[in-house]
């Protein structure tokens, strides 16, 4: 009888599997009893930094004139602000963008003008100086102001505590489940980080017109931000 090499290989593989299964049964071997749990943690931090966003734009029938007027106004503001940026913060200015303004006439769309715009972003500003900078930026008459993203400089320092708290939460859950089953919890067989500790920034919006109408420097209340971590752990179960 002719037996191909492939059939012979399958025959040997099945024979080996049956042999291993038989030996495991004879020796009383079985997969390690285990328990899988998820742990998470949330730590509250005080917001001490803020990122401020603003957009400046100019409309004109001529795209070149729109760019020139924007660069004149925006450039003067940018030079003034750069001289006052505190240590640790940074001022970022986006590239100029041109968008055509279209009007529908006689069932057709026609270009009737252009809008030139640039974005301004002040990053990692101390919250204690936010009110003054909101006033300085809005003095430049942005067409859109905000959002304000609040975050915490303590986030990096709290990375390990958040992860440790998530692991402890997983162990607490596993111990409760194991004791309810009348068993003991053994060593961790596998640990997986589902989500890295990260801060959920707090966002706020402010109307540019309302800020400019204020007679005093606006007072901002940043509040709190939250950092979280999630893990998956498989523990050994002991009788």
pLDDT at residue number 170: 95
Question: CB of 174 within 8 A of CB of 35?
Answer: yes
Task: Say what the pTM is.
Answer: 0.61
Helical pair 130-138 and 63-82, crossing angle rounded to 10 deg: 150
Kindly report the CATH number assigned to the domain that includes residue 121. Answer: 3.30.70.2970
Q: Rounded to whole angstroms, how far apart are CA atoms 227 and 209?
A: 33
Residues 112 and 168 in one domain: no
Q: Specify whether 176 is located in the same domain as 105.
A: no
- Per residue of the chain (239 residues), give pLDDT as tens: 444 555 544 444 444 434 434 444 444 445 788 999 999 998 888 888 899 999 999 999 999 999 999 999 999 999 999 999 999 999 999 999 999 988 888 888 888 999 999 999 999 999 999 989 999 999 899 999 988 888 888 776 667 788 889 999 999 999 999 999 999 999 999 999 998 655 555 454 444 444 444 444 455 566 677 788 899 999 999 98
Q: What is the CATH number of the domain that holds 174?
A: 3.30.110.170
Domain that holds residue 182: 30-48+153-201+222-239
207 within some domain: no
Both 135 and 83 in one domain: the answer is yes
**What is the total count of domains within the chain?**
2
DSSP H stretches of helix in the chain: 5-27, 63-82, 130-138, 159-180, 208-213
CB 78 within 8 A of CB 120: yes
* Residue 155 per-residue DSSP state: T
Instruction: Please give the Cα distance from 29 to 16 (Å, whole number).
Output: 17
């Amino acid at each position: 009888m002719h037996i191909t090499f492939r059939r012979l290989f399958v025959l040997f593989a099945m024979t080996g599997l049956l042999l291993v299964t038989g030996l495991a049964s004879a020796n009383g071997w079985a997969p390690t009893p285990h328990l899988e749990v998820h742990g998470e943690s949330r730590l509250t931090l005080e917001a001490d930094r803020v990122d401020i966003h603003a957009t400046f734009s100019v409309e004109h029938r001529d795209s070149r004139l729109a760019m020139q007027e924007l660069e004149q106004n925006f450039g003067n503001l940018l030079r003034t602000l750069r001289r006052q940026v505190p240590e640790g913060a940074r001022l970022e200015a986006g590239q100029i963008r041109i968008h055509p303004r279209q009007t529908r006439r006689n069932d057709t769309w026609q270009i009737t003008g252009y809008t030139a715009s640039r974005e301004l972003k002040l990053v990692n500003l101390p919250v204690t100086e936010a009110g003054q900078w909101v006033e300085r930026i809005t003095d430049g008459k942005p067409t859109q102001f905000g959002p304000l993203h609040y975050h915490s400089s303590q986030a990096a320092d709290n990375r390990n505590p958040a992860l440790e708290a998530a692991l402890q939460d997983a162990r607490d859950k596993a111990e409760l489940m194991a004791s309810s089953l009348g068993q003991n919890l053994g060593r961790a067989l596998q640990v997986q980080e589902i989500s890295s500790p990260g801060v959920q920034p707090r966002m706020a919006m402010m109307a540019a017109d309302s800020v400019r109408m204020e007679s005093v420097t606006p007072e901002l209340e940043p509040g709190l931000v939250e950092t979280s971590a999630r893990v998956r752990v498989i523990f050994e179960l002991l009788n």
